[in-house]
Structure formats: structure tokens, C-alpha cells
């Protein structure tokens, strides 16, 4: 059985915890899907508080002696889980960021080429800017001589 | 194959302005028929300016992604632009582009999907220090243990891949110190790997990114990643 004082402390802490999550969600400071684990652990903590006997039986089952020990181990477990999910979120975002950076750089090159081609086309008297290579399609096919992109960049550099 | 294949030479470069021009000159001299792409990995020196001044075909990454991210950018570009073969070479001038034909040969003859330029077959040219060779040998042994495929120069960044692997690498390429991991990934995707003897030079200027404590980190990280990479691919092979 948990001491009454401790139960009150934990109860107050848990309420504050949920209010904090709600405030964050309301301000859209965190996305709902990232708070799911937080909410889930909050609910488990609530159940523990409301049914201390069940919690006691549970930690006995795991072979943990002492209620406080059980509480600590339990919370550390939750924290580790949250840390792992954070690592996974960071990794996924790093992956997305890498893809974005790469795509951005490739696009930037394409724009450079098109601008170079545009300038070249404007300066040529026989054609209009409309005949500049179309946006779609691949780079080297757009080139009149088909000799690959570096020719294009060469033009844009000299333009 | 009835028409000439489209070949892209990928040159990842991070603060290699001093060596880069020489590398590009070599390419223009030895293999003008193929396209090249410098991937400027967020360099802080004047690589970008150098590229535009000399009309070098380059992609400039706005932030530093590391060698893996830079090489992957090249594969992504090759994939988007329909290249048949992509060759990666280092931007530090270690790799002699006159060997490019030899490296491309197994791919053009469709005898291999991936060709790796190896300095340990003919044992000529720059061979690296004893400690590094031991490290490379143990990684090679580990890869053989995990996949059954013997690759001698596992850290060589001089390699050519065909269209299928351009797509695979464009989609997924390991990040820091990617070369050995890329080999595992290739084997696991059923790629046929062929090592081609090449002679490498000592790097032009600057120093290797792996030294001192980093070498320990490198060995641990790469060994672990090889094992993990093997496990995550499961029993496909």
C-alpha cells in the first residue's frame, strides 16, 4: 500500500502533468501523435495511483522489493521508452532533412541551368525565351547537343 | 547494348578546392565523353566559387551532410537524369581517372553490377599505413564472415555501379563512413561485386578525416554497422 501522503503528491503531480500536456496541445506546441506516449504513460500512472494494490501485486510479480523501488523502476522504464521514441523521431527527421537538402541542391542546379539557358536564348536573335528547355524532362535530354549537364553549366557560368 | 551508355562521375567534395581542379582537369583530359558532377558538401572554402568560375558541373548542398549524404546526392541526381552507370571518385585526387575504363569494363560487359577499384590486388602505388591496412583487412574479413563475399579494399571510394544500384543507393545510402556498409547493402540486394586492381595516389593536400581517436571510433562504428546491417537484412541470403 502506498502511503497516503505520497498518493496525494503523485495525484497532484499527475494532474499537473496532464494539464501541461493539454496546454502544449492547445498551443500546438507539440503534435498529438508525439504526445500519445506521454498520455499513455500518464494513464498508466493514474491506474497505479487508483489501484495501489494491483501495482503492489504487479511489482511483487516482477520480483521487485519495496514500493518505492517499484515506482522508480517503473518511471525509469517509462523515461527510457520516451527517450527511445525521441531518438527514433530525430532519426526519421534527420533522414527527411537529408533528402530535402539533396533535392534542394539538385533543384538549385536545375534552376541555375535553366537561367543560363534562358539568358542564352534571349541573347540569340532567332529564338524567343519560350523555346528555352521545358521544366519537365531530364537535364541532359534538354540540351541541344545532348552532351550532358556540364556543358550547360559552362554556358551559365559564362553568361 | 546498341548505344553508348550514359556515365556519370560523382565527385563528393568537402573543402577540397585545392585538389578539385586537378581532379576535374584529369577527367576532362582522360574521359571527356562522360559527364561529371561535383557534390559540394557545404564546403566553407571557395569550392562553390571555383566551380562556377571554371564551369564545373556541380551541386551545392546548403548544409554539410557528410560523405554518405554527398555521394547519395550524386546517385539521386544520376537516378533522376537516367544515367546507366555512376562512378564515384574521391575529390582529394587519390583516384586516378585513367583507370576508369578498367573499372567500367565489368559493368559494360554485364559481368558485375558493382565494380570497386582496389589498391590491394596488384599491390602497387599508395598502400596506406600498416595500421590502416590491418584495419581494412579486419573489416574485409568481417564482411566475408557476414556475407561470404571477399572484398579486399572495403574502404575504397572508387567504385562504379549500374542502373539498378543507382536507384537503390539513391533511395538508401549509409551515412558516416559508408563504404563498407554500402558493400553489405549491395551483397544483400543480390549485387555481383567485382574488384578491379587500380593504383592509388597519396592524397593531393590536406589530411584524411580518420586519424587518432577517430580511427578507434571508425573501427567500432563500422564493425558494428556491418553486423547490424547484416542482421537487419535478415536471412535473405
pLDDT value of position A147:
41
Whether chain A has a CB inside 8 Å of the CB on B60: the answer is yes
Residue B48 placed within a domain: yes
**In this complex, do A105 and B82 lie within 8 Å of one another by their Cβ atoms?**
no
**In this complex, do B81 and A138 lie within 8 Å of one another by their Cβ atoms?**
yes
Cβ-Cβ contacts under 8 Å between A and B: the total is 68
Residue B214 placed within a domain: yes
Does this complex have an ipTM over 0.85?
no
CB B87 within 8 A of CB B7: yes
**In this complex, do B36 and A150 lie within 8 Å of one another by their Cβ atoms?**
yes
- Spatial CA neighbour of B157 closest among B53, B87, B219: B87
Residue B207 placed within a domain: yes
Q: How many domains would you assign to chain B?
A: 1
Residue B237 placed within a domain: no
Whether chain A has a CB inside 8 Å of the CB on B52: the answer is yes
CATH of the domain at B124: 3.90.550.10
Which residues on chain A place their C-beta less than 8 Å from a C-beta of chain B? 98, 101-106, 108-109, 138-141, 148-150, 152-154, 157-158
pLDDT in tens, B163-179: 999 999 999 998 877 89
pLDDT in tens, B29-66: 988 899 999 999 999 999 999 998 998 999 999 999 99
Compare all CA atoms of chain B with the CA of A152 and give the residue at the minimum distance: B57
Q: How far apart are CA B154 and CA B177, in angstroms?
A: 11
Whether chain A has a CB inside 8 Å of the CB on B59: the answer is yes
Residue B41 placed within a domain: yes
Whether chain A has a CB inside 8 Å of the CB on B72: the answer is yes
Residue B179 placed within a domain: yes
CA distances from B22 to A100, B25, B38, B54, B90 (A): 31, 5, 13, 12, 12
Positions of chain A with pLDDT lower than 70, given as ranges: 1-2, 119-159
pLDDT value of position A153:
36
pLDDT in tens, A114-136: 988 776 666 554 444 444 344 33
Calculate ∠ Cα B122-B212-B66, nearest 5°: 75
Positions of chain B with pLDDT lower than 70, given as ranges: 1-2, 203-211, 235-237
* Lookup result for grid cell 511489482: A59
CA distance A70 to chain B (A): 34
**In this complex, do A138 and B65 lie within 8 Å of one another by their Cβ atoms?**
no
Our separate counts of H helices and E strands in chain A read 6, 0
**In this complex, do A106 and B37 lie within 8 Å of one another by their Cβ atoms?**
no
pLDDT value of position A1:
60
Domain limits for position B115: 7-232
- With contacts defined as CB-CB under 8 Å, which chain A residues touch B73? 102, 105-106
DSSP state of B95: B
Residue B106 placed within a domain: yes
**In this complex, do B60 and A101 lie within 8 Å of one another by their Cβ atoms?**
no
CA distance A80 to chain B (A): 22
CB B11 within 8 A of CB B36: yes
Helices (H), chain B: 17-30, 47-53, 66-80, 100-108, 130-147, 163-171, 179-188, 213-232
CB B15 within 8 A of CB B47: yes
Q: How far apart are CA A101 and CA B84, in angstroms?
A: 24
CB B45 within 8 A of CB A74: no
Residue B209 placed within a domain: yes
Amino acid at each position: 500500500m502506498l502511503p497516503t501522503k505520497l498518493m496525494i503528491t503523485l495525484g497532484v503531480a499527475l494532474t499537473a502533468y496532464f494539464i501541461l500536456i493539454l496546454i502544449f496541445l492547445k498551443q500546438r506546441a507539440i503534435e498529438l501523435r508525439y504526445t500519445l506516449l506521454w498520455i499513455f504513460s500518464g494513464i498508466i500512472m493514474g491506474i497505479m495511483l487508483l489501484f495501489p494494490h494491483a501495482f503492489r501485486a504487479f511489482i511483487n510479480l516482477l520480483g521487485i522489493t519495496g514500493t518505492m523501488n517499484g515506482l522508480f523502476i517503473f518511471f525509469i522504464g517509462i523515461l527510457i521508452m520516451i527517450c527511445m521514441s525521441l531518438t527514433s523521431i530525430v532519426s526519421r527527421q534527420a533522414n527527411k532533412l537529408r533528402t530535402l537538402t539533396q533535392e534542394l541542391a539538385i533543384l538549385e542546379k536545375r534552376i541555375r541551368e535553366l537561367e543560363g539557358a534562358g539568358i542564352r536564348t534571349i541573347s540569340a536573335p532567332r529564338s524567343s525565351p519560350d523555346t528555352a528547355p521545358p521544366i519537365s524532362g531530364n537535364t541532359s535530354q534538354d540540351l541541344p547537343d545532348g552532351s550532358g549537364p556540364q556543358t550547360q553549366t559552362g554556358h551559365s557560368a559564362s553568361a | 547494348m546498341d548505344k553508348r551508355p550514359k556515365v556519370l562521375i560523382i565527385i563528393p567534395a568537402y573543402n577540397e578546392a585545392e585538389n578539385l581542379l586537378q581532379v576535374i582537369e584529369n577527367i576532362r583530359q582522360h574521359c571527356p565523353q562522360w559527364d561529371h558532377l561535383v557534390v559540394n558538401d557545404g564546403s566553407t572554402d571557395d569550392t562553390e566559387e571555383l566551380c562556377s568560375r571554371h564551369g564545373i558541373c556541380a551541386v551545392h548542398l546548403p548544409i554539410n551532410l557528410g560523405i554518405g549524404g554527398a555521394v547519395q546526392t550524386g546517385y539521386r541526381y544520376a537516378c533522376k537524369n537516367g544515367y546507366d552507370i555512376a562512378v564515384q571518385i574521391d575529390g582529394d585526387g587519390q583516384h586516378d581517372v585513367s583507370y576508369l575504363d578498367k573499372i567500367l569494363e565489368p559493368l559494360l560487359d554485364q559481368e558485375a553490377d558493382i565494380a570497386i577499384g582496389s589498391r590491394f590486388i596488384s599491390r602497387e602505388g599508395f598502400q596506406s599505413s600498416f595500421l590502416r591496412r590491418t584495419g581494412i583487412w579486419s573489416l574485409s574479413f568481417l564482411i566475408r564472415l557476414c556475407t561470404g563475399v571477399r572484398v579486399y579494399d572495403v574502404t575504397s571510394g572508387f567504385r562504379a555501379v549500374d542502373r539498378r544500384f543507382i536507384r537503390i543507393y539513391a533511395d538508401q545510402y549509409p551515412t558516416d563512413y559508408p563504404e563498407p556498409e554500402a558493400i553489405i547493402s549491395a551483397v544483400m540486394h543480390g549485387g555481383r561485386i567485382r574488384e578491379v586492381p587500380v593504383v592509388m595516389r597519396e592524397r593531393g593536400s590536406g589530411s584524411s578525416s580518420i586519424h587518432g581517436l577517430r580511427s578507434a571510433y571508425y573501427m567500432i562504428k563500422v564493425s558494428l554497422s556491418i553486423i547490424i546491417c547484416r542482421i537487419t537484412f535478415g536471412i535473405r541470403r
